[in-house]
């Protein structure tokens, strides 16, 4: 798909200008971690609490997606991520229009990262936080590549494998339950490391990024598309209490730990000496997405499916307006961060 829209104006190349357009000071790696799940706790008692918090988060994420994925697939198909839209275009999109927008999100992300079919042969892809494998199957078909997807949800892994079999892609694509923070892969295995809307679930962003870098092949690309909070201003230590409160309410329902900003991700990648680091704020491009999801939830079919699906889905639906509020008030940013591992 040809992109018709340049990524929005927050694009920059931090390698050549380390301060870029960020106004926040670089965080220490530790400061990216949620206080409740900090991995740097010194005492033994503290580290037991950390492990327990991380385990309970992992379990919560697995249960959330076990319960909600079938509903999402029934109504929205196999891509569990935002669509990419032209801001200011007329918005009476049909269902297929939203699906195209979700595929466009994949294409725009590849384009932004400079991954083209001609540029470099992509032979192996890892889809970190794969959902039911929509991106994996798409990327495997596009590049003729092998793709492995990992998720915390056993139901998602099974459904993703079943869909791959139904599409005669089992020889190329496979899915398993594994933790993104401890990936079961050798170093340097993948030409493309893909994380589409899974980073927000990671309790230790530094460890997450390190794992993405570890499994990337020399010269390989890493693409992180994720929910972030706004960049902090110079001198600002934290979000405003009302902003934090809004995010906390979203965290509870969607099983998210503390959020970070796109500039936090860039700083992490810089600290690991990655190349071609780029990021952009695509919040405007995804603005129509949540209103559209809410509209489908409010149809008879949507309401019945929600009731059948269970409490986690219902709570999720009730939290959607907070996402819209977060974007509108500029607290939530939809970020893309990409880079290349040095040869």
Q: Considering the rule CB under 6 A, would residue 197 count as an interface residue with ligand SAH?
A: yes
- DSSP strand pairing (173-177 vs 275-281): unpaired
Contact predicate 225/196, CB 8 Å = yes
Is residue 205 a contact residue for ligand SAH (CB under 6 A)?
no
Instruction: Please identify which residue in 7, 27, 83, 129 interacts with ligand SAH, judged by CB under 6 A.
Output: 129
DSSP sequence for 108-137: HHHHHHT--TTTS---EEEEES-TTSHHHH
Residue 133, number of CB atoms within 10 A of its CB: 29
β-partners of residue 229 are 261, 332
Q: Give the integer Cα–Cα distance in Å for 306 and 309.
A: 5
Q: Does residue 286 belong to the site contacting ligand SAH (CB under 6 A)?
A: no
Site map 259..278 versus ligand SAH, x via CB under 6 A: --------------------
Q: Of these, 33, 124, 159, 201, which contacts ligand SAH (CB under 6 A)?
A: 201
Residues 140-179 that bind ligand SAH (CB under 6 A): 150-153, 156, 179
Closest distance of CB 238 from ligand SAH, Å: 24
3-state secondary structure of 172: coil
Beta carbon nearer to ligand SAH, 61 or 246: 61
Question: Which H helix or E strand runs over 146?
Answer: strand 146-151
The answer to whether residue 104 forms part of the interface with ligand SAH (CB under 6 A) is no
CA distances from 239 to 80, 243, 272, 337 (A): 28, 6, 26, 21
Q: Is 81 one of the binding residues for ligand SAH (CB under 6 A)?
A: yes
* Shortest distance (Å) from residue 180 CB to ligand SAH: 3
* Least spacing, CB of residue 233 vs ligand SAH, in Å: 30
Cβ–Cβ < 8 Å for 61, 255 = yes
Taking the complex as a whole, how short is the minimal distance between the CB of residue 18 and ligand SAH, in angstroms?
Answer: 29
Q: Alpha-carbon distance 101 to 95, whole Å?
A: 10
Q: Which stretch binds ligand SAH (CB under 6 A): 26-34, 108-116, 191-199, 332-340?
A: 191-199
Stretch that binds ligand SAH, among 110-118, 193-201, 276-284, 294-302 (CB under 6 A): 193-201
Q: SS3 of 151, please? A: strand
Give the residues lining the site for ligand SAH (CB under 6 A): 61, 65, 79-81, 129-131, 134-135, 150-153, 156, 179-181, 196-198, 201-202
């Amino acid at each position: 798909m040809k992109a018709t829209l340049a990524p929005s104006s927050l694009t920059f190349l931090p390698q050549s200008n380390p301060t870029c357009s960020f106004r926040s000071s670089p965080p220490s790696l530790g400061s990216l971690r949620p206080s409740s799940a900090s991995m740097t706790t010194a005492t033994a008692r503290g580290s037991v609490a950390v492990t327990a918090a991380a385990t309970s988060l992992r379990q919560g994420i697995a249960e959330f997606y076990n319960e909600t994925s079938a509903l999402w697939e029934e109504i929205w198909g196999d891509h569990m991520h935002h669509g990419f839209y032209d801001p200011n275009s007329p918005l009476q999109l049909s269902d297929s229009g939203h699906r195209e927008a979700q595929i466009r999100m994949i294409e725009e992300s590849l384009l932004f990262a400079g991954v083209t079919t001609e540029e470099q042969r992509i032979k192996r892809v890892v889809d970190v936080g794969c959902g039911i494998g929509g991106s994996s199957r798409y990327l495997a078909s596009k590049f003729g590549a092998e793709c492995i997807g990992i998720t915390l949800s056993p139901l998602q892994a099974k459904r993703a494998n079943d869909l791959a079999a139904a599409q005669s892609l089992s020889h190329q694509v496979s899915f398993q339950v594994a933790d993104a923070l401890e990936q079961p892969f050798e170093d340097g295995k993948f030409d493309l490391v893909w994380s589409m809307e899974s980073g927000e679930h990671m309790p230790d962003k530094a460890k997450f990024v390190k794992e993405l870098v570890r499994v990337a092949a020399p010269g390989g690309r890493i693409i992180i598309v994720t929910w972030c909070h706004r960049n902090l201003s110079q001198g600002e230590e934290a979000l405003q209490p009302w902003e934090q409160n809004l995010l906390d309410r979203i965290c509870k329902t969607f099983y998210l730990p503390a959020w970070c900003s796109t500039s936090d991700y860039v700083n992490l990648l810089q600290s690991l000496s990655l190349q071609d680091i780029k990021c952009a704020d695509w919040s405007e491009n995804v603005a129509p997405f949540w209103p559209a999801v809410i509209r489908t939830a409010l149809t008879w079919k949507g309401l019945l499916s929600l009731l059948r699906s269970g409490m986690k889905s219902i709570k999720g639906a009730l939290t959607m307006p907070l996402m819209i509020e977060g974007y509108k008030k500029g607290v939530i940013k939809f970020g893309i961060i990409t880079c290349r591992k040095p040869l």
